[in-house]
Amino acid sequence: MTKFTMLSRKVAHATASAMLLAVLAAPVAAYAGAADDRGAIPAVIEQTTSSVVAIIGKPADNRKVWAANRYNLAHGTGVIVRSEGYILTNAHVVKDMRNITVVLADGKSYTGKTTHYDEESDLALVKIEATGLTAAKFASPSDIKVGEPVMAIGTPLSFALRNSVTYGIVSGMDRAVQSKYQLIQTDAAINPGNSGGALLNMKGEVIGINTLKFVEYGVDSLNFAIPVNTVQHVLDHFFKYGKVKRPYLGVELGESWEAVVGIPSSNGLEVTYVEPDSPAAKAGIKQGDVLLAIESSPTGTLVQYNEALKNYLPQQKVKLTLKSGGTQRVAEVLLGEDESSATSLVRDADGSYIDADQGKTHIGDSYYGWSMKYPAGLIKKEQDSDGQSVSFADAKGEYAIDIEIENDQSADLSPLGLLRKLEAQHHGDTILEKRYVDQKSDPYAVIVGKSSYGGQMYQSRAFLRGDKIFYILLTVYSEEMYNNNFKRNSFNDLLDSFLLSYDEKNAGLKDISVHQSTNTILTDYGITFDVPADWSTNGWGSSLSYQSEEADKGLVVSVTSASSGDTLKDWSTRDAENFTRKFVSDYRKASEPRETTIDGVPAIEMDYAFTMGDKWQYMHAIYLIRDKYKYGMVLTYTDESNKKSIDELAESLKASVHFVKDSANRSLGVIQDEAELSSSSRTVTYTSKKYRYAVKAPEFWYGGYERDKDPIVKSFLFQGGGMTVTSDDSGDLQGKFTALEKEYKKNAEADSAYTYKTSDEELFGTSVKKFATQYKSRNVPYTQEDYVWEKNGVAYTARLRINDAVKTDEQWKLLNDTLRSMAFTEK
């Protein structure tokens, strides 16, 4: 498959022979006259290698169940650009890297921190606390020529191969390859791990930063670097502004067929979309126009367009040459600022050191209550979702350990029974030792054997505790190694360290339990957060909801687009006003808004409560606006005694919230906030063809949009009430009236507090019988009115019901207006 690949490297532990094989298999670049330069290479390397560093870290992994392999590391290369510890590398090197360690050419290592990041150019800065470093020298962009000899310095394949040097030429300039900007092409061999390394000329000057290689069977030495002019442009912005300030036009552009396939073209870029109120819109640029040039720079391709914009800053004026129809014209545009490319990285660091398990001498499971020694070479490979099975491997590939927990065993299982259960797991193997070790603490059954499948040696132990059997299996892949006294003693020491206990106070004990207190939720909306691990999830669309096992607590997260000019204060005030308008004052409570900050983003918190007359429902609402999206987070609970735990949960939720631009789905677009479109004055017409009526219901009620069905019973509902229409095309008006009268009388006989009135009214041009009551059911007071009438051979019943909690003047009027909006047609 043809593809370009970034040159950072994610590696698990590999044997030296495997790495050597990979190096020997790499293509070697050569060209005529190359030998003339080789005498100068050692001197150039000696001059420049101290400016090139290796960067290593842990791959970012938000999955808490599957803990990262401690030897599963990511690495790349960097170039020192300032002597006080600023190192330039590729953005893709540090994008998914945490616990960064930087190693200089002399072997000294430092903890690193990403300080500047720009994904558009694929460049980033890492800072280490060091001074007196040797900063690289940059070549003049005009001095770079096709055919000149170059060297690449980097960390290919393995961190152990840092500061490797390869040799080649500049194969091409101004290449447009999977990049926003132009790249340098070279045949100097560069491989995964070279990302961020230096491409040098024979003066020892940096002409580019290695970033991509072309990968396809049969294709060799097709590699690319970010040219020095782009590098210097980005560095200048990093140190001046803290980010790359990019101008913004507000247009989407399409390339011509020639540009797409790489044929030189002067056709320009077609404007396929113009954002409202954008600089382009204000300058009169319209869809269908063709952009030919920015000032004097032609724009035949998107890369040319981006290269041209590099020369300008936001708030500068530029002249655009456009073709509209058959006419060419010049438009002056005041450039805006593109905020979409600004990216902040979120670090979920387990510590400052690259090995997050440093200082952990033991490993165990707090939920199942076991622990054992944790040698530096041990790697957790797999763990099932309930934590009852976990496997480890030695980094050198010498041995493996498997732990398995079997439930529902007899608590009085005898030593013989335990030994037989253990033996059954190794049926067909050569058993070399089998016994029961009746020690004071944690007695166990043990079998030493040789596998009938691969000939590996193993030692298997079984422990009984309560209704669970704990099996621990050591597999040694070499019989010779197992029989080595020194090795066997170390294996036995490891097995002897297995205990059916877990010491919470031991800071050196690493907990691998999958039964954690929280789960991290990764979304397509650019936001991550934690919820309690035992909460279940549901939800759809742009809403995500979670609830506790008892369903007494929950969280709803909604994401919608922020309208132009909308503010956090306006949004929360609007929400509070809607809440106040919905409930009668005695049935609602609302706190004053409180300003806070979440992940560096301003936020507002409010508490709401409402009741229908029985139990109160409580809500803790959080409002955030970030990157043109509104994030609403509402914690719900049903018992005021839970207020303290909800406050603690809210603090935990706020602390867990992170906005990660890279996590947002690339197709994420406008998500309309329906509340901004909704109005109590707007209605939707529902028509029943079969029962020959139409009704205009408020559009924010439920049920008005179901137009394709003709149910006998049709409801139009809102929180705490609604209207239900029942139709009978048999025309049995008396039957409807009798059934309704019987229902009311039965309720009155059952409870003396239940009273009702009947009356006759004129509605819809006919006589209508009305039943009305005000009652309290399960402490929920409500008003109910039933209307019965016949029209054009159809008998209708309309029931209006509304809880007193939401019986505001506005809502009651809407309910009655909906009834009176009914219209009827003849056959």
What per-residue confidence (pLDDT) applies to 186? 84
- Return the ∠ at Cα 232 (arms to 230 and 235), rounded to 5°: 110
First to last CA, the chain: 67
What per-residue confidence (pLDDT) applies to 454? 82
Distance from C-alpha of 810 to C-alpha of 581, rounded to nearest angstrom: 8
* 658 included as an active-site residue: no
Distance from C-alpha of 474 to C-alpha of 477, rounded to nearest angstrom: 10
Distance from C-alpha of 552 to C-alpha of 557, rounded to nearest angstrom: 17
Specify the 3-state DSSP secondary structure of 33.
coil
Helices (H) and strands (E) in the chain, counts: 15, 52
Provide the pLDDT confidence category of residue 23 given band limits of 50, 70 and 90: very low
What per-residue confidence (pLDDT) applies to 708? 53
With 0-12 / 13-18 / 19 or more C-beta atoms within 10 angstroms meaning exposed / middle / buried, residue 666 is: exposed
Provide the pLDDT confidence category of residue 171 given band limits of 50, 70 and 90: confident
Query: Does the pLDDT value for residue 292 go beyond 60?
Result: yes
* 729 included as an active-site residue: no
Query: Does the pLDDT value for residue 665 go beyond 70?
Result: yes
User: Catalytic: which of 8, 51, 75, 92?
Assistant: 92
User: Catalytic: which of 51, 116, 122, 804?
Assistant: 122
Q: What is the dihedral of CA 364, 365, 368, 370, to 10 degrees?
A: 10
Between the alpha carbon of residue 390 and those of residues 12, 67, 387, 404, 471, the distances in Å are 19, 11, 7, 7, 11
DSSP string, 583-619: S-GGGEEEPPPEEEEETTEEEEEEEEEEESSSSEEEE
Q: What does the pLDDT average to over 178-198?
A: 79
Residue 344: φ, ψ to 5°: -110, 140
What per-residue confidence (pLDDT) applies to 254? 84
Distance from C-alpha of 599 to C-alpha of 629, rounded to nearest angstrom: 15
Query: Does the pLDDT value for residue 813 go beyond 90?
Result: yes
- In this structure, of 140-144, 331-335, 389-393, 738-742, the range with the lowest mean pLDDT score is 140-144
Distance from C-alpha of 368 to C-alpha of 242, rounded to nearest angstrom: 49
Provide the pLDDT confidence category of residue 213 given band limits of 50, 70 and 90: low
The order of strands in the sheet holding 468-476 is 378-383, 389-394, 399-406, 468-476, 457-465, 444-450, 430-437
To which residue do tokens 């099975």 refer?
A: 389
User: Catalytic: which of 51, 171, 179, 195?
Assistant: 195
* Average per-residue pLDDT for the chain: 85
Report DSSP state, residue 647: H
User: Residues 318-364: pLDDT tens digits?
Assistant: 999 999 888 999 999 999 888 766 555 544 434 456 666 777 899 99
Distance from C-alpha of 539 to C-alpha of 302, rounded to nearest angstrom: 40
Distance from C-alpha of 140 to C-alpha of 437, rounded to nearest angstrom: 76
% of the chain at pLDDT higher than 70: 87
What per-residue confidence (pLDDT) applies to 341? 64
Provide the pLDDT confidence category of residue 754 given band limits of 50, 70 and 90: very high
Distance from C-alpha of 602 to C-alpha of 561, rounded to nearest angstrom: 17
Beta carbons within 10 angstroms of residue 425's beta carbon: 14
**Four-residue CA torsion sign, 273, 276, 279, 282:** positive
Query: Does the pLDDT value for residue 62 go beyond 70?
Result: no
Three-state SS for 440-499 is CCCCEEEEEEECCCCCCEEEEEEEEECCEEEEEEEEECCHHHHHCHHHHHHHHHHHHCCE
Between the alpha carbon of residue 433 and those of residues 40, 428, 484, the distances in Å are 66, 14, 17
Q: Please name which of 277, 293, 287, 296 lies closest in space to residue 253, comparing C-alpha atoms.
A: 287
Q: Please name which of 131, 56, 135, 39 lies closest in space to residue 97, comparing C-alpha atoms.
A: 56
| Beta-bridge partners for 78 | 53
Specify the 3-state DSSP secondary structure of 733.
helix
Q: Please name which of 123, 105, 135, 403 lies closest in space to residue 236, comparing C-alpha atoms.
A: 123
Distance from C-alpha of 646 to C-alpha of 632, rounded to nearest angstrom: 17
| Beta-bridge partners for 102 | 55, 110
The length of the chain is: 827
Query: Does the pLDDT value for residue 539 go beyond 70?
Result: no
Provide the pLDDT confidence category of residue 705 given band limits of 50, 70 and 90: low
Domains of the chain (ranges, CATH numbers): 3-241 (2.40.10.120), 247-337 (2.30.42.10), 363-511 (3.40.1000.10), 518-675 (3.40.1000.10), 678-824 (3.40.1000.10)
Distance from C-alpha of 278 to C-alpha of 154, rounded to nearest angstrom: 43
Distance from C-alpha of 729 to C-alpha of 752, rounded to nearest angstrom: 36
- Residue environment code for 262-273, b if the CB has 16+ CB neighbours within 10 A, otherwise e: eeebeebbbbee
Specify the 3-state DSSP secondary structure of 44.
helix
- Residue environment code for 119-130, b if the CB has 16+ CB neighbours within 10 A, otherwise e: bbbbbbbbbbeb
Distance from C-alpha of 89 to C-alpha of 130, rounded to nearest angstrom: 17
Provide the pLDDT confidence category of residue 220 given band limits of 50, 70 and 90: low
Highest mean pLDDT among 223-227, 709-713, 752-756: 752-756
What per-residue confidence (pLDDT) applies to 95? 83
Report DSSP state, residue 702: B
Residue 740: φ, ψ to 5°: -70, -40
- In this structure, of 79-93, 605-619, 633-647, 782-796, the range with the lowest mean pLDDT score is 633-647
Between the alpha carbon of residue 671 and those of residues 33, 560, 678, the distances in Å are 61, 5, 15
* 195 included as an active-site residue: yes
- In this structure, of 337-346, 466-475, 789-798, 811-820, the range with the lowest mean pLDDT score is 337-346
